[in-house]
Structure 1
Amino acid sequence: MGKTLFEKIWDKHVVRTIEDGPDVLYIDKHFIHEVTSPQAFAGLAKRGLALFRPDRTIATADHNVPTKDQHLPIKDRLSRLQVDQLIENCKNFGVELYGLGHPFQGIVHVIGPELGITQPGMTIVCGDSHTSTHGAFGSIAFGIGTSEVEMVFASQCLLQNRPKLMRINIEGSLNKGVVSKDIILYIISKISASGGTGYFIEFAGSAIRSLSMESRMTICNMSIEMGARGGMIAPDETTFNYIKGRHFAPSGEEWERKTSQWKQLFSDEDAQFDKEIAINAENIEPMITYGTNPGLGIAINALIPSIESITEEGERKNIIKALEYMGLQAGKPLKGMPVQNVFIGSCTNSRIEDLRLVASVVKGRKKSENVKVMIVPGSQQVAAQAKEEGLNRIFEEAGFEVRQAGCSACLGMNEDKIPSGEYCISTSNRNFEGRQGAGARTLLASPLTAAAAAITGVVSDVRELMEQ
């Protein structure tokens, strides 16, 4: 019997299998940042251990950093403490650090791919749930806890139980105004925020193969939002063309050797999955969430589901609670509802392709006077490219505020918070209660839908702007 893409990579990295227990899995790359690494470093120091493979570890500052005046000392005490601790730990343990001021600094899941560090066939971990982003390159990538970060520091291995496998096939052509964020929000709305629990998911089909690498990263990034351990996509020529020539990408004879290996990374025709789901791409419309988990999403022109239509009692109670928090009513439309904030950024949608999408909508237009708009590039390299391409000028002429690289308003951990009670259309990945600040109300959407709201001041169907 053939093997799945996941099995080919996993089996190659098993150091040993514990009888009736987990596998000892070798880890190729370990990304760290300022929030989940301090305790792990402290654990090593307490035991008098060195970092086993510092050459396999890459650090950056992203979660808790300011996105304004990064050349100045950090004002917030906790942020400053975390960043300073990361600098000290990386120095003491010999880890390469792309900190504030470094041209490679940025969100950990943006810089790995853009630098060519992320490559097919790897096992990749980070103390961050959205590590699944890197699976877009045909790698096994997943988030880990702080104790596991210490385990990788000490041994470059992890104890891991083999997950079940799911394949989601998306066939057909995407409709106008529909992008990868809509694809993944549509999938989660269909299978729920827990529908992938216990699985590692491979995304396949003609609609997936037609996507750019940036778009594939968006889909794998949010696989965690359906409860999955991670998501992945088989590498192809699109993957190889993206990697080639990047800073840490192989070159010369090594490139030829690597690509020859990468071309073997696909699920065999007779490979077996525990579950398969088929989706017609033509059924997907621009999506937006209305609740407090990413599974509570609808098409932009649809109505919020009626309470009576929800048969499961637990789910019904959760939706009633979510609508109360969001200040919304079942059976009503979202379209036309005023919003006060638009956030374009995060490890889900802060790459250069995302900013180009936004610019394509807002060029020559002005933002609504009632909306505050933040554009936060995912890395210093994205920021430099946006400026070089003239995207910053388009944003500034539209009245948008362009910030510096970081996680920003994706999470209420730094200074970029959404005020309590206000609505924010966000290109980020989570809409939990208080995720963007205490009392903030988050509506997840694509960069195109976010751009449309920035211009109109209300939840809008971007296709109507595209027709003008």
Structure 2
Amino acid sequence: MKTLFDKIWEKHVVQQIAGGPSVFYIDKHFIHEVTSPQAFQGLEKRGLPVFRPQQVVATADHNVPTLNQHLPIREELSRRQVATLIENCSKNNIELYGLGHPFQGIVHVIGPELGITQPGMTIVCGDSHTSTHGAFGAIAFGIGTSEVEMVLATQCLMQSKPKLMRINVDGMLQNGVGAKDIILYIISQISASGATGYFVEYAGSAIRALSMEARMTICNMSIEMGARGGLIAPDQTTFNYIKGRLFAPHGELFDEKVAEWSQLFTDADATFDKEIFIDAAAIEPMITYGTNPGMGIPVTGHIPALSEVEASERPSFEKALHYMGLQPGAAIKDQKVDYVFIGSCTNSRIEDLRQVAAFVKGKHKADSVEVWVVPGSKQVENQARAEGIDKIFEAAGFQLRQPGCSACLGMNEDKIPAGKYCISTSNRNFEGRQGPNARTLLASPLTAALAAITGKVDDIRNYLEPVVINERWRMENEILVNQ
């Protein structure tokens, strides 16, 4: 009996080295401007070509500005890195979706929306959140720059098989609780290192009920609990999402692939090294208070008191709270915020923007808050404009920007000022992540949208009608999520 991971792994092992790692074949390699320059430089020094350029896809995302993308990039390092990516892709016949291209966007957003990401694949990128693609039933994980060079040169990696964990989430979610809350809850329960050494499969009725975009949010943050990656078995929801996308199989070939993909599931008697069971009904809207994603609590909860923290962890706990300007034992609800960032490879897809727009329609942001909404791709941006989402944001005082990683990380022009609090839909709240001395509170798009309106942390459940926000948006606008 085999797990989903086993089935994909075994098909991609080129050679098993006795007493060592496997030579592991990679189907698709995504690259961007930050981790690829040194890899190409290494190839040039050794006189090696890119082995299979047709299996490499490039985009510019980390360093790009999200305003006035038609103008030259102002920051010198960012400008140089993007220019180097253009040069390297041109030299090596690699498809590049750069600034100005209709497919440009965050690498982990464009792969799925273009139909490049498919079940059963092995996918790598020099970016830790490559685990996003695991939502399609793929083995997807981030690699370092030296490994980027190895894949460019050989289309293979040296990999040791990780331990396997399954996290089962069963039952009905509360109204207002979504994928981001699920994954923040899981990480808060097992810690930011609780899945170290494992590849995680997410299963259970609550996971199966999620849309593909929500599943991507779950898998995206697998790395934030130390996992090598995360994946979800493909099903009809997966196949419906893929069908008709530009680079997906079409016609009879699509039907053949669905028959193949339908065999990608964990056998009933397969075993895992570790298994966790979670009641979906117990999950509340979540938010982080510290400087790693494991420091999360319900928005109605309180920051742990010192007595609730193990003695060995108190120094780092106190350091985190000092950085965040928060007190042990304090409630997080009503904490004032200065910025709201809705974006990143975690929550910048059209479904995320629709949820936010449905909630803020007819409302206006608090005067004390600056709100940035950054779509994950040009396609998301264009779809948002076609649906009138941009007008809703404009009326609410939200700024809809152009695609990029933006304020997820302080590597571009979109930085949160020192000492300011930002509720962010991104994936990391490390010290300085959004800019020097910026203070980050991770939350779902709905919790972030509510903070934009009220100017503080609050419980979205108190503001919602008893309907699913995204379903209401679809009904009111007579559109389909997967057009």
* Whole-Å separation in 2 of the counterparts to 1:107 and 1:218: 14
Task: Report whether the alignment pairs 1:449 with 2:415.
Answer: no
Task: Give the equivalent residue in structure 1 for 2:181.
Answer: 182
Task: Give the equivalent residue in structure 2 for 1:250.
Answer: 249
List per-residue Cα deviations over 1:394-425 (Å, max 9, x = no partner).
Answer: 00100011110000000000000000000000
Secondary structure (helix, strand or coil) at the match of 1:245 reads coil
* Whole-Å separation in 2 of the counterparts to 1:317 and 1:5: 40
> Amino acid of the residue matched to residue 24 of structure 2?
L
Task: Give the equivalent residue in structure 2 for 1:134.
Answer: 133
Gaps of 5+ in 1: none
Worse-matched range after superposition: 183-192 or 317-326: 317-326
Q: CA shift at 1:465, angstroms?
A: 2.0
Secondary structure (helix, strand or coil) at the match of 2:423 reads strand
> Amino acid of the residue matched to residue 412 of structure 2?
N
Task: Give the equivalent residue in structure 1 for 2:481.
Answer: none
Alignment TM-score, normalising by the size of structure 2: 0.96
Task: Give the equivalent residue in structure 2 for 1:421.
Answer: 419
> Amino acid of the residue matched to residue 390 of structure 2?
N
> Amino acid of the residue matched to residue 167 of structure 1?
R
Q: CA shift at 1:461, angstroms?
A: 0.9
List per-residue Cα deviations over 1:279-335 (Å, max 9, x = no partner).
Answer: 000000000000000000000101111110112x33222111111110001111111
Give 1:297-316 correspondences, 5 Å limit: 297-311=296-310, 313-316=311-314
* Whole-Å separation in 2 of the counterparts to 1:450 and 1:38: 35
Match of 1:375 among 373, 387, 390: 373
* Whole-Å separation in 2 of the counterparts to 1:202 and 1:317: 33
* Whole-Å separation in 1 of the counterparts to 2:465 and 2:315: 40
* Whole-Å separation in 2 of the counterparts to 1:201 and 1:192: 14
Secondary structure (helix, strand or coil) at the match of 2:403 reads coil
Task: Give the equivalent residue in structure 2 for 1:335.
Answer: 333
* Whole-Å separation in 1 of the counterparts to 2:79 and 2:327: 42
* Whole-Å separation in 1 of the counterparts to 2:312 and 2:247: 49
Give 1:346-361 correspondences, 5 Å limit: 346-361=344-359
* Whole-Å separation in 2 of the counterparts to 1:331 and 1:75: 44
Give 1:15-414 correspondences, 5 Å limit: 15-311=14-310, 313-414=311-412
Q: CA shift at 1:467, angstroms?
A: 4.8
> Amino acid of the residue matched to residue 224 of structure 2?
E
* Whole-Å separation in 2 of the counterparts to 1:237 and 1:114: 17
* Whole-Å separation in 1 of the counterparts to 2:81 and 2:229: 27
Secondary structure (helix, strand or coil) at the match of 1:40 reads helix
* Whole-Å separation in 2 of the counterparts to 1:315 and 1:443: 20
* Whole-Å separation in 2 of the counterparts to 1:440 and 1:360: 29
List per-residue Cα deviations over 1:234-288 (Å, max 9, x = no partner).
Answer: 0000000000000000011211111111000000001110000000000000000
Q: CA shift at 1:462, angstroms?
A: 1.2
* Whole-Å separation in 2 of the counterparts to 1:371 and 1:5: 45
> Amino acid of the residue matched to residue 65 of structure 1?
V
* Whole-Å separation in 2 of the counterparts to 1:144 and 1:220: 16
Secondary structure (helix, strand or coil) at the match of 1:25 reads strand
Secondary structure (helix, strand or coil) at the match of 1:73 reads coil
> Amino acid of the residue matched to residue 370 of structure 1?
S
* Whole-Å separation in 1 of the counterparts to 2:133 and 2:312: 34
> Amino acid of the residue matched to residue 286 of structure 2?
M
* Whole-Å separation in 2 of the counterparts to 1:77 and 1:107: 21
Q: CA shift at 1:73, angstroms?
A: 1.2
* Whole-Å separation in 2 of the counterparts to 1:50 and 1:187: 43
Alignment TM-score, normalising by the size of structure 1: 0.99
> Amino acid of the residue matched to residue 329 of structure 1?
Q
* Whole-Å separation in 1 of the counterparts to 2:349 and 2:332: 27
Q: CA shift at 1:76, angstroms?
A: 1.2
Secondary structure (helix, strand or coil) at the match of 1:443 reads strand
Secondary structure (helix, strand or coil) at the match of 1:451 reads helix
* Whole-Å separation in 1 of the counterparts to 2:258 and 2:465: 42
> Amino acid of the residue matched to residue 146 of structure 2?
S
* Whole-Å separation in 2 of the counterparts to 1:296 and 1:337: 16
Q: CA shift at 1:463, angstroms?
A: 1.6
> Amino acid of the residue matched to residue 316 of structure 1?
R
* Whole-Å separation in 2 of the counterparts to 1:28 and 1:5: 17
* Whole-Å separation in 2 of the counterparts to 1:319 and 1:354: 32
Task: Give the equivalent residue in structure 1 for 2:472.
Answer: none
- What count of residue pairs does the alignment treat as equivalent? 466
Worse-matched range after superposition: 250-259 or 53-62: 250-259
RMSD, aligned CA:
0.8
Secondary structure (helix, strand or coil) at the match of 2:183 reads helix
* Whole-Å separation in 2 of the counterparts to 1:447 and 1:423: 16
* Whole-Å separation in 1 of the counterparts to 2:190 and 2:116: 32
* Whole-Å separation in 2 of the counterparts to 1:321 and 1:401: 34
Secondary structure (helix, strand or coil) at the match of 1:41 reads helix
* Whole-Å separation in 2 of the counterparts to 1:315 and 1:444: 21
- The percent identity for this pair of structures is 72
Task: Report whether the alignment pairs 1:463 with 2:456.
Answer: no
